[in-house]
Amino acid sequence: MSTEEITKKANELSLEKTALTSAEELAVKHPLNSKWTLWYTKPPVDKSESWSDLLRPVITFDTVEEFWAIYNSIPKASELPVKSDYHLFKEGIKPEWEDELNSKGGKWSFQFKKPDDINDLWTRSLLSVIGETIEEDDSDEVNGIVLNIRKGFIRIGLWTRTCDENTLLPIGEKLKKVLKLTDDMKLEFASHQASNIRGSKPLLTV
Amino acid sequence: MMVRYTEEELLKYKDAGSLPQGADLSGFVKMVEDVKVALAAVCENDENHFPNGRRRSSANHHRPIFRKNKHKEFLPRPDADGWITTAKTKKSFGSAEGEVSRDVFRESVKDSFVKAKPNNKNIGSSKPADPRDVIADKNTVTFNAFDALVDDEDDNEEGDEE
Best A59, A78, A85 residue to mutate vs chain B (most B CBs within 10 Å): A59
Residue A53: predicted pLDDT: 81
Confidence band of A44 (pLDDT split at 50, 70, 90): confident
Q: How would residue A132 be classed by pLDDT, with cut points 50, 70 and 90?
A: very high
Mean pLDDT of A79-83: 93
Lowest mean pLDDT among A67-71, A120-124, B100-104: B100-104
User: A107 falls in which pLDDT band (50, 70, 90)?
Assistant: very high
Give the model's pLDDT for residue B120: 61
Nearest residue on chain A to B7, alpha-carbon basis: A127
pLDDT level of residue B118 (50, 70, 90 thresholds):
low
Average pLDDT, chain A: 86
Instruction: Please state the ipTM of this predicted complex.
Output: 0.79
Mean pLDDT across the stretch B62-89? 72
pLDDT of residue B116: 66
Q: How many residues does chain B have?
A: 162
Give the residue-averaged pLDDT of B28-55. 76
pLDDT at B133: 60
Mean pLDDT for chain B overall: 71
Least confident interval from A27-36, A134-143, B43-52: B43-52
What pLDDT shows up at residue A18?
37
Alpha-carbon distance of B38 to B35, in angstroms, equals: 5
Residue extents of the structural domains in chain A: 3-205
Tell me which chain A residue has its CA closest to the CA of residue B28.
Answer: A13
Q: What is the mean pLDDT of residues A127-145?
A: 91
pLDDT category, B134, cuts 50, 70, 90?
low
* Least confident stretch, A13-27, B36-50, B72-86, B116-130: A13-27
- CA B142/CA B69 separation, integer angstroms: 64
CB A66 within 8 A of CB A29: yes
Mean pLDDT of the B83-104 span: 71
- Of all residues in chain A, the percent with pLDDT exceeding 90 is 64
B85: which DSSP letter? -
How many Cα atoms occupy the beta-carbon half-sphere of A136 within 13 Å?
10
**Is the pTM above the cut of 0.80?**
no
Are the C-beta atoms of B25 and A58 separated by less than 8 Å?
Answer: yes
Chain A, 90-109: which have a CB under 8 Å from a chain B CB?
none
Asked if A6 and A45 touch (Cβ cutoff 8 Å), the reply is: yes
Question: Looking at chain A from residue 147 to 186, which residues have their Cβ under 8 Å from any Cβ of chain B?
Answer: none
- SS3 per-residue string spanning A156-185: EEEEECCCCHHHHHHHHHHHHHHCCCCCCC
Output A191-199 pairs: Cβ under 8 A, ≥24 positions apart.
Answer: A191/A105, A191/A106, A191/A163, A192/A97, A192/A102, A192/A103, A192/A105, A192/A106, A192/A107, A193/A106, A194/A106, A195/A97, A195/A106, A195/A107
Q: Which residues of B touch A25 (CB under 8 A)?
A: 18, 21
User: What CATH class is the domain A3-205?
Assistant: alpha beta
Query: What is the mean predicted confidence (pLDDT) over A46-62?
Result: 85
Q: Which residues, 6+ apart, have CB-to-CB distance to B58 below 8 Å?
A: B64
